[in-house]
Amino acid sequence: MNDDYLWDKSGEPDPQIQQLEEILGTLRYQPKPLRLTSRRKYIPLLAIAASIVVALLTGGLWLESQKTEGSIPAVAIAEPANPKINPPISVLNRTPKTRKRVLVRHDRREALAAKQQLMFALRLASEKLNSAYRRTQDKRSSYENNLPN
């Protein structure tokens, strides 16, 4: 069989090869712009870094709120003498700041627990970041070792 058409598309066209070219041509390379930055490798690291930043911001805000509440003396916490019978006008007209003082002990317990959780989350995120970085380095070095030159 003359395979000139298969070789360099010269000579008499082979109908089966032409049909295959037509069908398989749908899978042909479609030109795309070249990107010379490794997008895929940095996505996990970016995500981890972003979560750490969010955690730090949350921690910073929490510490800030603690400072404000810590300046309120514990002795200032006082219940009205008999609120059920005759609540004084001052209690009824409490400002948000006064209500905050009444709740401060309970808040502190919760805040301490939140702080411990936050510290744990930060340690965990840091460990994960280190682990991801090590994995990326290992993969990269083994990939480069497998390539020619």
Partner 1 sequence: MATANMLVINPLARAVPAPENERATELPVEIALVAAALAGDREGFGRLYDLYAPLVHGILLARVPRAEVDDLVQDIFLHAFKKLHTLRDSAAFGPWIAMIARNRAVDFHRRSRQTVEITDELRGSDTQESKAAEILELIRDLPEAYRETLVLRLVEGMTGPEIAGRTGLTAASVRVNLHRGMKLLREKLTLTEGL
Which residues bind to partner 1, rule: CB under 8 A? 3, 6-9, 16-17, 20-21, 23-29, 31-32, 34-38, 40, 143, 146-149
The residue (of 37 and 90) whose beta carbon lies closer to partner 1 is 37
User: Cβ 26 to partner 1, closest distance in Å?
Assistant: 5
The residue (of 9 and 94) whose beta carbon lies closer to partner 1 is 9
Would you state the structure tokens that stand for residue 107, as one six-digit string? 């808040």
Residue 120: name the closest of 47, 55, 48 by CA.
Answer: 55
Coil, strand or helix at 36: coil
User: Cβ 9 to partner 1, closest distance in Å?
Assistant: 6
User: Cβ 13 to partner 1, closest distance in Å?
Assistant: 13
User: Cβ 56 to partner 1, closest distance in Å?
Assistant: 32
Could you tell me the CA-to-CA distances from 11 to 1, 19, 21, 44, 134 in Å, in that order? 12, 16, 16, 54, 58
